[in-house]
Amino acid sequence: MKRKIVLLFIALSVITTMCISCKSTPKEAPKEAPKTDANAVAARNKADQARKQALDFDASQYFPSEWESVESLYRTTPNDAAQINAVAEVYKELFNKAVPLYAQAKEDEIMAIREQIIASGLTDLLPQCLKSPDNFALIAKQEYDNKNYYKAKELADTAMYEYNTLLTGVKVYVTRQEIVNRGFTQYDSDNFVKADEIAQKAIDAFNAGDKETATASAEEALLRYNLVLSNGWTKYAAERKEAAENERQLAVVDRANIASKDTFRKGDASLEIANESYAAEVYSDAAIAFVEAEANFSVSRKETEEKRVRAEEAIRVAEEKIGESSESALEAEKLIEGGSK
């Protein structure tokens, strides 16, 4: 009997444990995948496209406050097709407002660069250089009028690229002319000759329609010309520094610092500015200031010489008058003496 009772307790204990285990780990129901609203997805794609178009034409720059507002709506709008479509319409409106502003800004930029090219005289050397970019700009305007805005943008960018290539050519031409006019070729003749060769390569490539090679060659030529110009200013500044200091010493010897002190002080002021620029390695500014200093010291010497000549002339005239007075006095004395006899 006791054995049966023990077995019964064991059986009850096992059953109770199993029931508790079942209650502590209930079986979870399978999760359902979230439902997709096809209309909301389509609206979101529409909004994304409208947003990209507005960005492509700089709406965020032209209308910053409106852009911030619609961006906030874009981020916070719930997954509702009607509300998302409303956001898309705002982006579209900003796009429509930005397009004419973008087009006008692009046209202004193109015209400004074009005028620089003409003013530089490059068109005198290369009469047909504007033909290709002008053609792209003209077609871009036609596409814009036809409301093909992306095509117009692409063509305008091509025109800009070609104008910028020519503008680099202008910089090459102007820099080369400065080197020649200032006589700086003597300071770095090897680089100057090499730059000339590369510049001609750029011209040949441009005429052949190879804009990429033309641009790369023009940029390399410009780097070399700038190096020649920089070396020229460095050596020229050193020469002008020596000349200004020598002229100052001569002015001191001539006592111009006393006889023509105002002009001499101007020379010292220019010399101080020149030395500061020279120490800062701004050699172009230093050279110009050294030339000014040298000129002022030279002028002070000339002024001193002129004053010396005038003084000597005054002394000569005074001596002549003194001599004439002495002779007159002697003659008068003779007359007096003769009369007394």
Residue 50 lies in a domain: yes
- 290, pLDDT greater than 80: yes
- 30, pLDDT greater than 60: no
Report how far Cα 10 is from the mean position of its chain's Cα atoms.
Answer: 94
Work out the percent of the chain whose per-residue pLDDT is above 70.
84
Question: According to the model, what pLDDT value does residue 332 have?
Answer: 52
- Domain co-membership, 53 together with 142: yes
- 324, pLDDT greater than 90: no
The residue from 182, 204, 226 where one domain ends is: 182
Question: According to the model, what pLDDT value does residue 337 have?
Answer: 54
- Domain co-membership, 57 together with 133: yes
- Domain co-membership, 318 together with 249: yes
**Higher pLDDT, residue 198 or 10:** 198
Question: According to the model, what pLDDT value does residue 29 have?
Answer: 46
Question: According to the model, what pLDDT value does residue 262 have?
Answer: 93
Question: Total structural domains in the chain?
Answer: 2
Structure tokens at 20: 């508790």
- Domain co-membership, 171 together with 52: yes
**Residue 296, domain extent:** 235-324
Question: According to the model, what pLDDT value does residue 123 have?
Answer: 87
* Mean pLDDT of the region 109-133: 90
- Domain co-membership, 163 together with 258: no
Q: Which amino acid is at 33?
A: A
* Mean pLDDT of the region 272-288: 95
Q: Percentage helix, strand, coil, to 5, in the chain?
A: 90, 0, 10
- 159, pLDDT greater than 50: yes
Structure tokens at 245: 């200091």
φ and ψ of 128, to 5 deg? -95, 10
CB 95 within 8 A of CB 54: yes
How many CB atoms within 10 Å of residue 204?
13
Write the pLDDT tens digit of every residue in 44-66: 999 999 999 999 999 999 999 99
Spell out the residues 6+ positions from residue 95 whose beta carbon is closer than 8 angstroms to its own.
50, 53, 54, 57, 59
With 0-12 / 13-18 / 19 or more C-beta atoms within 10 angstroms meaning exposed / middle / buried, residue 89 is middle
Question: According to the model, what pLDDT value does residue 225 have?
Answer: 96
- 90, pLDDT greater than 90: yes
Residue 13 lies in a domain: no
